[in-house]
Structure 1
Amino acid sequence: MTAKKQAKSAAEEGTRAYCGPTIPGVAKQFTFYRGGVPEALAEAQKQHPVLGGLIVPLEQLPEAMEQLRKKTGPIYALYLKAQARN
């Protein structure tokens, strides 16, 4: 994929939020990203693919937050896996 196509697809993604546990130097919980995620988070995601499931479109953030609050659902399961990696 060319750099131009990558930039376009990242822009089309819209705003996304990281719902996982805070990872010092990588990502803070409930941080918003527009136009892709930072390099540190992308590298962490390559090493621990579970982190990718914790980056959700802004429209899905209320549901993700509810799952975390209620400690149930797929987002919470991913959160626990991500937390165990720390």
Structure 2
Amino acid sequence: MGATWTKPRIKCALEERGMTLTGLADLKGINPSVMRNVWKRPAPSAEQALADYLGVRPAELFPDRYPRRRSRILSAENQELIAREKARRAADGEIAA
């Protein structure tokens, strides 16, 4: 792994190759505003386009965003807890009826 990729370094690498964020967005069929906002919020399509163009993995460009984490609400453990609670409530409802 080489030097850390920073916003200025990424933009410089694009410019050295004669490319801009807007140009890359056009090339990859991505909305230009999504590409411009890649610095502020996760945008998987823009991250992947930048990584592909620069010949690196998205995790190298945006290490704080990888690995992608699933929402705790959607975790298998929490889904199981919810299912058990629903089953308990259904059983309680049958007893009360």
Please confirm whether the aligned pair reaches a TM-score higher than 0.5, indicating the same fold: no
The structure carrying a bigger helix percent of its residues is 2
Which is bigger in relative contact order (C-alpha 8 A, separation at least 6)? 1
Higher strand share: 1
Who wins on radius of gyration, i.e. which is larger? 2
TM-score (norm 2): 0.29
TM-score (norm 1): 0.32
